[in-house]
Structure 1
């Protein structure tokens, strides 16, 4: 392993994460580093985890058995939290990935980030917002499309994520405030900001990802929302809030 490769621990709440999405989760994490610790937690005697058994070995994921000691209590969450804290202090890691739709992990995410590590979250759209917002980056599993191969005999096409309309985007105060504040923070004296600097600014402060709104890239979402003037300078795209003009009125 190269010394400069970021090391990531992947902890999966198998009760709250579909096995069919493991390939796209690993593909996404490969953008950020090497997933050298891979564990999936659950009661492996449960019929509900049969789909996971088929993908554990081929993806080098260690199954961690966790019995439900008390009815109505999620022992899996506790086991993941204990292991995460153990890994935080005993392993040289650069980040964690938590695959779950359970808000119980919110304090854990905040604790890990307080130690300077990034946390990547994956969950379904039912995931409570405190968990989503606590992560360095969070992606909804419904918007991560599983690519079909030529050998796939499935006749039904894989549905593409539905894109949020311009009206819906402009009606989301979190999105509009986030984008406008980022553009303003990165703008020059004529109120223009490069898309790359805006994207970096956003990623440093929130888990926002355009794919959660059905857009592959940030630039696509910004064009769709219609709140900014755009100007291409060579290979770089620049943005300006339509409410503002440069010193010369241009």
Structure 2
């Protein structure tokens, strides 16, 4: 059994909403165990009142950072310094950076240079350089949608999915790159390829819980569920254009 990752979770309180905390921590638990959970901000500010109410419940350590100069974000600097201290400790396998601020782009790149995983969490307005600097980036709008009932979640139709040329090209290129001589690609290998090409890719962005559901909804792939001897069925996909 694979050992769970030891993760450090660093939250920029100025650029994240307390309403996502339950879904955020549930999402992080998919990737490993949060050994450190810290949140940065000026806790004398009334703007952060909403965060104060959830910190004790989830055992998140608030780090006080006064805003020394108007218009300058001292929180970013404090968070970056702490992240580097934690990186140099050698005690972690990865970092979760919760912010929509592009100032953390260099930090994410530096952590990855050390061979650690970086999971980013931010709103869809997050600048692409920060998104691209992460191994995986999850939009917080998706986390809010996860808390809604399935009936209230909008799924993209087949026509809408096909109109997204970038998505279709990504899926087809991934299938081609990971397929065997007969054109069949294991869904897990396809997903891993996509993750390396597009950190922000997530089936939930299109209203689908699983990659297999999204691939099937495009109508552009054959789906083959194969029985395995010691586990769940293995799913394979193939381009219909082949």
Q: Could you state the TM-score of these two structures normalised by the residue count of structure 2?
A: 0.89
Kindly indicate whether residue 19 of structure 2 is the aligned counterpart of residue 20 of structure 1: yes
Q: CA deviation at 1:204?
A: 4.1
Q: Which 5+ residue runs of structure 2 have no aligned equivalent?
A: 228-232
Does structure 2 retain, via aligned residues, the 8 Å contact 1:230–1:239? yes
Structure-2 residue corresponding to 1:225: 218
1:60 alignment partner, SS class: coil
- Residue from 188, 197, 205 that aligns with 1:212: 205
Q: CA deviation at 1:93?
A: 0.5
Q: CA deviation at 1:158?
A: 9.3
Structure 2 Cα separation of the partners of residues 168 and 72 of structure 1: 41
Q: CA deviation at 1:102?
A: 1.1
- Residue from 159, 165, 170 that aligns with 2:157: 165
Q: CA deviation at 1:147?
A: 4.0
Structure-1 residue corresponding to 2:125: 126
Structure-1 residue corresponding to 2:236: 238
Structure 2 Cα separation of the partners of residues 72 and 158 of structure 1: 41
Q: Deviations over 1:54-99 (max 9, x none)?
A: 1111111110111111111111112111111111112411000011
Structure-2 residue corresponding to 1:196: 188
1:229 alignment partner, SS class: strand
1:39 alignment partner, SS class: strand
Structure-2 residue corresponding to 1:182: 174
Structure 1 Cα separation of the partners of residues 115 and 96 of structure 2: 14
Structure-2 residue corresponding to 1:152: none
Q: Which 5+ residue runs of structure 1 have no aligned equivalent?
A: 149-156, 245-250
Name the stretch that deviates more: 162-171 or 10-19: 162-171
Does structure 2 retain, via aligned residues, the 8 Å contact 1:142–1:161? no
Q: CA deviation at 1:191?
A: 0.7
Question: RMSD in angstroms over aligned alpha carbons?
Answer: 2.2
Name the stretch that deviates more: 222-231 or 110-119: 222-231
Distance 1:132 1:172, change over 3 A: farther
Q: How many residues align?
A: 235
1:67 alignment partner, SS class: coil
Distance 1:61 1:158, change over 3 A: farther
Q: Could you state the TM-score of these two structures normalised by the residue count of structure 1?
A: 0.86
Structure-1 residue corresponding to 2:75: 76
Mapping for residues 108-123 of structure 1, pairs under 5 Å: 108-123=107-122
